[in-house]
Chains A and B, each alone.
Chain A
Amino acid sequence: MNINFSGVSKIFEPDIAALVDINLNIEQGEFVYIIGQTGSGKSTLLRLITRELLPSRGVVAVGGVDMRKINTSDIPYYRRDVGLVAQDFRLIPSLTVYENIAFVMEAMSVPKKLVAERTRAVINQVGLWRRRTMRPSQLSGGEQQRVAIARALANSPSLFIADEPTGNLDFTTASEVMKILFAINAAGVTVVMSTHNQSIVNSSRRRVIELVGGRLVRDEKGGTYVS
């Protein structure tokens, strides 16, 4: 699934231009950092890809499908192929860590046994097995973030969208998470993540897209945090 923005603007009521005339193309299997100051439009860009938002102007297409024209009934199936780590985690407060992750597979009617196996695997991957019976409110910010990452991994998506997935993590845990993301990317998954973390961007040298005030000012392969 390639991601294509052509002439995309997003204006929030009454007149906040969060994104202005964005053109970009991301091929399947790429690893892309979205950087920029707070308020520059990073989350808005990612939320256009997941279709939480629709563009005010222009076209956002994923896998050739215009997100404005996609059939309502196809949206859930599209999202099952997208692993999403939201900036505010979006965990279900009434469910435990385990249930939060199992849910995405249950919604796809995966049999209980397979759900159990896969849930256990991804929880272990982010090192939270001992927290599995806790609810999100009982977890630290960093732990919640890792639950969100585990949930995004659960469906083995072909597109991984992460909004500052290391924002609440210390250096070591952040490195662990980045290892996971590099690994799934090596296996062919497209990864698009926003970040403020300079050392991660500088040490890995991937494609960097920089936003300033909602405008795309730099799109550089193998870039660093500061051009």
Chain B
Amino acid sequence: MTALKYILRDMVRLVVHHWVLGLLTLITAGVMLWILGVTTLLSLNIENMLTKLESELAVQAYLVKDNTLDVEAVSKKIQSLEYVASMKAFSPADSLAKLQEKMGSQSRALEMLGDNPIPWNFEIHVNRAEDVAPLVNALKEMPEVEDVVYAGMVVRRISALSRIASRVAMIMFILSVVITSLVVYNTIHISLYSRREEIGIMYLVGATRAYIATPFVLEGTLLAFFGALIACGGIIAAYFPGIELIRENLPLLTNILLTDRGIIWRFCALLAGFGATLGWVCSYLVVSRFINSITRPE
């Protein structure tokens, strides 16, 4: 407890001593973490949108019209294919009924067909848009399947978009993490360097490395943490009005965006934790390296 008080006091001394540098670090960390947060949220939204759309993507497989066909066995065979998330079977009668329902008043036309021309068919759902193409190929290779119907173009576009979005988010993520780390690392290094003589003396008169190091590590952790808080403030200030704007102008999009306030608050808490952890890791690395080099005897 006593040690903690002394350590906190020493940390305050450090921060006050280098306050201009600290402020710059805070702002840089804030901006970078804000960018990180915004791109992550954006890609989360795109992901969310995709999963919503993907869950509606279905591949329709029509079997050959053959009364001797063992539908049960074919169903099992399809079920065992790699990309199948779920499937539903429709008998010829069901299918016709469905069709009649859809066509409403025009359903009389169907009666003119005489025999029900629709074969047994399956509605197959996949987990991800990318899975559609290989599934379709696998189905087409089955002799029992006559035709496969699916929204090919939409699927291809969606998976391309999803890939680009996650790649951009990844690049922004790495960039923000690298820049934030470098800035924190550098600031703490300067802080350490300006006190290298003192660090040597402290060690010489019996301070442990941990006692010497902790104020510096705390300094770095706090700078990154407060930077992250600034970023959170910026995100909240931008996100909710942004959602409002979309709600007014593009109401269709509203239900596929993340609009739940709880989620955004939790996201911000996560970002703050991430910032603090990043600051801790960077300053821990620089401090332990620096103190090692200074306290090594000749």
User: Hey, which bits of chain A sit against chain B, CB under 8 A?
Assistant: 12, 50-54, 72-73, 75-77, 79-80, 82, 84, 86, 90-94, 103-104, 106-112, 151, 155
Contact = CB atoms under 8 A, between A and B. Distances in A.
Contact of A79 (B2, B6, B206, B211): B206
A106 B215 CA distance: 14
Contacts of B211: 76, 107
Nearest to B212: A107
B113 interface: no
B216 to A, nearest CB: 14
20 contacts: A12-B298, A51-B297, A54-B298, A73-B208, A75-B203, A76-B203, A76-B209, A76-B211, A86-B204, A90-B200, A90-B201, A90-B204, A103-B205, A104-B207, A107-B6, A107-B202, A107-B208, A109-B3, A109-B6, A111-B2
A108 B2 CA distance: 9
Contacts of B6: 106-107, 109
A78 to B, nearest CB: 8
A53 B206 contact: no
Contacts of B198: 92-94
A62 to B, nearest CB: 14
A16 to B, nearest CB: 12
Interface string B258-298: 00000000000000000000000000000000000000011
Interface of B: 2-3, 5-6, 17, 195, 197-198, 200-209, 211, 297-298
B197 A107 contact: no
A76 B3 contact: no
Contacts of A86: 204
Given A54-B298, A90-B201, A94-B198, A107 B2 contact: no
Given A54-B297, A93-B198, A109 B204 contact: no
A91 B201 contact: yes
Contact of A84 (B202, B205, B207, B298): B205
B106 to A, nearest CB: 87
Contacts, number: 68
A103 B111 CA distance: 98
A86 B197 CA distance: 14
Given A53-B297, A93-B197, A112 B2 contact: yes
Given A109-B2, A111-B2, A52 B206 contact: no
| 8 shortest interchain CB distances as A-B pairs | A80-B206, A107-B207, A109-B3, A79-B206, A76-B208, A106-B6, A109-B2, A104-B205
Nearest to A109: B3
Contact of B205 (A54, A93, A112, A151): A151
A17 B206 CA distance: 29
B94 to A, nearest CB: 76
Nearest to A110: B2
Given A76-B203, A93-B198, A106-B6, A52 B297 contact: yes
B2 A155 contact: no
A151 B3 CA distance: 19
Contact of A92 (B201, B208, B298): B201
Contacts of A54: 297-298
A48 B191 CA distance: 30
Contacts of B202: 92, 103, 107
Contact of B206 (A90, A91, A108): A108
A131 B116 CA distance: 108
Q: A54, A94, A151, A155: which has the most chain B beta carbons within 10 Å?
A: A94
A92 B194 CA distance: 12
A151 B197 CA distance: 17
Given A53-B297, A109-B3, A151-B205, 12 more contacts: A12-B298, A73-B208, A76-B206, A76-B207, A86-B204, A90-B205, A92-B201, A94-B195, A103-B202, A107-B206, A107-B211, A111-B2
Contacts of A92: 197-198, 201-202
Contacts of B200: 90
Contacts of B298: 12, 52-54
B15 to A, nearest CB: 14
Contact of A77 (B195, B206, B297): B206
B204 A50 contact: yes
A100 to B, nearest CB: 9
B115 to A, nearest CB: 89
Given A52-B297, A52-B298, A53-B298, A79 B3 contact: no
Q: A52, A75, A76, A112: which has the most chain B beta carbons within 10 Å?
A: A76
Q: B3, B197, B205, B211: which has the most chain A beta carbons within 10 Å?
A: B205
B214 to A, nearest CB: 11
